[in-house]
Amino acid sequence: MSSVRDQRYMNNVETTGAAPVLRHSAEPSLTALQLAAGSLVSQAIYVAARLGIADLLAEAPRSAEFLAVATSSKESSLYRLLRTLASVGVFTDTGDKVFANTPVSEALLSDRPDSIKDLVIWLGDPEHWKVYGGLNESVRTGKPAWEMVHGEPVFSYLFETNKELGGVFNRAMTSLSKQVIPAVLASYDFSGYGVIADIAGGHGHLLAAILQNNPQAKGILFDLRPVLDGAQKTVEEYGVSERIDFVSGDMMNEIPVKADAYILKHIIHDWPDETNKMILGNLRRSMPDGAKLLIMDAVIPEGNAPHPGKIIDMEMLVAPGGVERTAAEYEHLLAGAGFRLTRIINTASLVSIIEAEKA
């Protein structure tokens, strides 16, 4: 790049902390290119997470040479990867090819309670990543690209065909739950409920945390039997195993659970309206009068307002075939299933709490 072009580029850059950011008003073509190249940054972060670079930098800055030896990588290639990530604020180059963590890269530390390392590894895993190559077909047809790429729906593929990738997915969902749990506990009062049921609640992290903070309550964890088998250890770690009943079943067929509050976390966004009406109908048939339904998913703002849920909506489109919804869309969906939306509570996380009751 010539010196004239160098200056033109730098005139279009503003510095925020360690990372240069293109001004959207300066050179639209450069801004568009930066956004389009975001996939390269995503894969670079994935590789750094897989290699455990943040963990290697936890105690002190390290040279590219040290990191290459520790990760069995080619030094020159690893340096280029880290230089790229440092340019967007993930790690920082302290000079002489020595790198250190930043607040952003510290989110990739394995031992942090709010670590997103497993979530990043899920997003960048080759078997998951290649599904995004089918986004065009998903947009054109409205069908999940996952089935076109892998030949079967996402959940059967993860839990029957490719159980190794299913393990990656489970760890990622546990990571996501750990982001959500403190925000939910800070935003919603569970003290009035005697029995709380988590429907398709996975390994029970959310339910166990709620019970830990609400000693008056008992819990029911409802999910498929293989999932519940993996939940026993989790609830024991929270010290609430004696207050949780495990009920196995398929929410698509029946939800034979009686409770005062029913949680559906990251469930409704997985499915189109017709499937959700069936799930909600199954729940409603068992639900006592006066019980509350608590849907925990992103609520998408109208218009051009930025929201991470708008990006995650692309994952819903290409993988399970679900959708992230606006408040109006939730109200419409709930009404069609015999519920009345009572309120929406925003939290300090990706999810909001959509509270409803029988209409």
Interacting residues of 289 by C-beta distance below 8 A, sequence separation 6+: 358
Containing 199, the helix (H) or strand (E) segment is strand 195-199
CA–CA dist 289, 291 (Å, integer): 6
The question of whether 332 is a catalytic residue gets the answer: no
Q: What are phi and psi of 193, to 5 degrees?
A: -105, 135
Tokens (6 digits) for 272: 């189109």
Q: Is 227 helix (H, G, I), strand (E, B) or coil?
A: helix
Residue with structure tokens 């990251």? 266
Axis crossing angle, helix 38-51 with helix 28-36, rounded to the nearest 10: 40
Interacting residues of 33 by C-beta distance below 8 A, sequence separation 6+: none
Q: Which position among 128, 266, 269, 332 bears the catalytic label?
A: 269
Q: How many CA atoms lie within 13 A of 64 on its CB side?
A: 18
**E-assigned strands of 126-282?**
195-199, 218-223, 244-248, 261-265
Active site residues: 269
